Amino acid sequence: MYKLFLTLRYLRKRRIAYFAIAAVTLCVAMVLIVMSVMGGWLEMVKLRARGLLGDVIVDNKAFQGFPLYEEFIDEISGWPEIVKATPLVYSYGLFQFRQTLRDGTTQVIQDGMARVVGLRLEDVCEINAFKEGLFYEKHYPGTTHLGEQQQPLIGYDLAGDPIPLKDEDGAIFGYRRPILPPAYQAALAESQAQDVVDTESAEDENARFLEELGVPPMPGVYRIVDDFGPPRMAGDPRPGLILGRDIVAKRHSDGRHERHYPRGKMVTLTLWATAGHSVDPFPIKQPFRYADDSYTGIFEIDSQYVYCDFDHLQKLLEMDEADRIDRETGQVIGKAPARCSQIQIKITQRVDGKPVDPVALCRRLEELYHSYLSDERFQLDLTERKLITRVEAMTWQESQAHIIVPVEKEKILVTILFGIISLVAVALILCILYMIVLQKTRDIGVIKSIGGSSGGVAAIFITYGAAVGIAGAVLGTILGSLVVHYINDLQDALIWFHPSLRVWDPAVYSFDTIPSEVRTVDAVCIVAVAILASTVGSVAAAWRAGTMQPVEALRYE
């Protein structure tokens, strides 16, 4: 009983111990903040990467792709574990935006390398979260597609009543209400009826002018007719192209985007690959129209990827079905099957009440694909057989290991570094308790002289160190949790004080906000380690007190 009494007394009366508690508090809070932010960042990376993939991916990691994908999809579609499967084609190209000068010539205003993805839009939207990142589809549902399309132009409602406005002299004049072509105007009204609000775009002059007119906002950028006539669709029909948002928009420090081009603007895509994916001296140039922009939140994707129709890209790359020609005779000897680059598959979580094992499913999918090598239905040449041999099925985590694993290692490394820094708290506890032992030599002598054991005396200071750790860990957890919860508000306060104090700039980092969630597992682990470290830090002082002789202690005083 005397151990607990003296421990609590020393904790309350010896104010120097408050410094040890403060050190533990700051270290716990610091490590908790770091682990929460890094852990939240890791979860965001997983979530965003997951949003572009299926549960299972079939790929052979070859630009030439692999054949028999349609037969494979038809066969696995009957499996109870499979919800949906769709093929994709990947390639590389060069995109160009041009503008027409007054003399009729054109000038390149933006170009760059792009990772080109051919997909079936409706299927992909069922398999992953790609649709959620489409800007125009969100505000104009049903208007985003990859088929041939023209450019929508904002015109004026000539049948409606003019909107009265005042000019600079105060005279009232009538201004016609700006409207989009009927299909787009109806889609906009549908989204506005569902209270879909544009929080992603930076405010511009057109938005302010529409607000002044009392007209509902028109999210995005559209060209306006030149003749003050009604809205219309203009230009030659071209296939649609969805571009990564960072290609067509500038990201501001508040996370909003300012788009450079109107919807439907022409963009040229240049491809060099042929059927064998070798460099073609006569590259393929294909004009598209900017149909929408995609936002994943990962800069490497949003600044490089463009998406077009699967069948169209497959044909451009000569990966569609074609005649097989005999090299010696030049005669047609059959059909070479069409190829794709990847298959994304969505699976169900449970079948007959039992959870589905994605890894085991991957092995089954691989076995099925490789069985086509011996299937007499298919006449495959040597190249096609090699492409099928390399086909692998993997979970989305395995396919994104090159992104997820480095971030996990960064989290571990940063946590270790801050943990090493936190050892200063252990050293501080050791020094403070050792000083207390030296100051309380007489107390130790009295306790031992009346029958206190060496272990009992040592236990006083072991318990004292643990009490310091418990107090510091509890206060540190509370402080760290508050900082993490209000970390974005704290940053806003710093920015208000001075813009240069911005810590997390959305224009630089992949995500708009700092992760602000504390995981219970992390908090429990940090608290346990803090208490253990504080207890270990008191061992030297406890050993010194326990080995002290009563006569020596009393003579010291």
- In tens, the pLDDT along 169-179 reads 665 566 788 99
Vertex 402: Cα angle to 302 and 319 (nearest 5): 65
Between helix 17-50 and helix 520-537 the angle, nearest 10°, is: 150
- For residue 486, pLDDT over 60 is answered with yes
pLDDT of residue 417: 80
pLDDT of residue 167: 65
Cα 100 from chain centroid? Answer: 37
Q: CA 307, CA 114: separation in Å to the nearest integer?
A: 10
pLDDT tens digits, one per residue of 184-241: 999 999 999 898 888 888 887 777 778 777 788 899 999 999 888 899 999 999 999 9
How does residue 86 score in pLDDT terms, banded at 50, 70 and 90? very high
For 130, counting Cβ atoms within 10 Å of its Cβ (0-12 exposed, 13-18 middle, 19+ buried), the class is: buried
CB 338 within 8 A of CB 320: yes
Type of residue numbered 311: D
pTM above 0.75, yes or no: yes
Choice among 11-15, 56-60, 111-115, 313-317 with the minimum mean pLDDT: 11-15
pLDDT: which is higher, 72 or 212: 72
Pairing of strands 106-119, 305-309: parallel
The tokens describing 455, both together, are: 């272990």
Query: DSSP letter string over 389-423?
Result: HT-EEEEHHHHTHHHHHHHHHHHHHHHHHHHHHTH
- Read off the pLDDT of each residue in 267-279 and give the average, rounded to a whole number: 68
Which structure tokens are listed for 435?
């000083």
**Rounded average pLDDT over 324-337:** 76
Residue at token pair 């999210």: 219
pLDDT of residue 99: 85
Contact indicator for 276, 336 with CB cutoff of 8 Å = no
pLDDT for 363:
94
Question: Percentage of the chain surpassing pLDDT 70?
Answer: 83
- Of 3-17, 77-91, 99-113, 188-202, the poorest mean pLDDT is in 3-17
CA angle (239 as vertex; 236, 241 as ends), nearest 5:
120
Q: What is the DSSP string of 37-55?
A: HHHHHHHHHHHHHHTTS-S
Question: Residue 104 pLDDT > 70, yes or no?
Answer: yes
Instruction: For strands 223-224 and 148-156, give the pairing.
Output: parallel
Tell me how far CA of residue 152 lies from CA of 122, 155, 180, 242, 309, in angstroms.
22, 9, 7, 16, 20
**CB crowding 257-278: b at 16 or more within 10 Å, else e:** bebebbbbbbbbbbbbbeeebe
Spatial CB neighbours of 454, under 8 Å, sequence gap ≥ 6: 448, 546, 547
Calpha distance 516→32 (Å, rounded): 11
DSSP 134: B
Mean pLDDT of 2-23: 63
334 beta partners = 324
Domain coordinates of the chain in residue numbers?
A: 2-48+403-556, 54-81+319-399
Tens digit of each residue's pLDDT (9 = 90 or more) over 379-421: 888 888 999 999 999 998 888 777 777 777 877 887 788 777 7
Displacement of CA 258 from its chain's centroid (Å): 20
pLDDT averaged over every residue in the chain = 82
Confidence class for position 146, pLDDT limits 50, 70, 90: very high
What are 116-133's pLDDT values in tens digits?
999 999 999 999 889 999
Beta bridge partners of 305: 115
Asked if the model's pLDDT at residue 12 lies above 60, the reply is: no
pLDDT class of 277 with cuts at 50, 70, 90:
very low
Q: 236 near 182, Cβ under 8 Å?
A: no
pLDDT given for residue 546 in this prediction: 59
Q: What is the pLDDT of residues 453-476, one digit of tens each?
A: 656 666 676 777 778 888 888 999
Q: What is the pLDDT of residue 452?
A: 55
User: 3-state class of 525 per DSSP?
Assistant: helix
* pLDDT confidence bin for 493, thresholds 50/70/90: confident
Cβ distance 206 to 178 under 8 Å? no
